[in-house]
Structures are given as C-alpha cells and as structure tokens.
Amino acid sequence: MKHKCPICKAATDSALHTDFPFCSERCRERDLGNWASEKYVVSEPVFNEDDIAAGQGNTIVPNLDNDLDNPNDGEH
C-alpha cells in the first residue's frame, strides 16, 4: 500500500517502511508530539455526554444471547 507521509510528504510503502504510514521514526515521533502539544484536536465530540449518561446514545449493541449453540444456522 503506497501513500505519502503525513508529516514530510515523502512516498511511503507499507511493505517497506516499518513506521508506515510515516516514512521514518522521526516523522512518527513528530506526529506524536503534535498530538501531545495539542496542535491536532478533535473538533467536536462524537457522543453527547448527557445522552450517554441518560442511556440515549446512538450505540448499536448486538444481542449475543441468541442461539449461541448453533451460530451457523441458515436463519442468522
């Protein structure tokens, strides 16, 4: 998989670079430093904390209690 390093824009390849998607350990550490210094921020929360506390979050929770003895039957 070929991409460009998000820090220096050099070509990177997942098969060649152990620090992929970065081209080097230096770029990987610079990116980590950017997060640590809050240069990067998440613009808005994914969930509203009040909704989560009230149990009204938009989370999908599968029912895992159904038919655990026969998980590969044709109806599921």
Is 46 within the bounds of a domain? yes
pLDDT score for 16:
87
Give, rounded to a whole angstrom, the gap between the first and last alpha carbons of the chain.
35
Residue 65 lies in a domain: no
- The answer to whether residue 6 sits within a structural domain is yes
CATH number of the domain where residue 36 is located: 3.30.50.10
User: Is there a contact between 13 and 20 (Cβ–Cβ < 8 Å)?
Assistant: yes
- pLDDT at position 20, please? 92
Domain range holding 31?
2-53
pLDDT the model gives residue 10 = 93
* pLDDT mean over 43-58: 66
pLDDT value of position 2 = 79
Q: Identify whether 18 is part of a domain.
A: yes
Give mean pLDDT, residues 4-13.
Answer: 93
Q: What's the total number of domains in the chain?
A: 1
Contact indicator for 14, 20 with CB cutoff of 8 Å: yes
**Is residue 23 very low, low, confident or very high in pLDDT (cuts 50, 70, 90)?**
very high
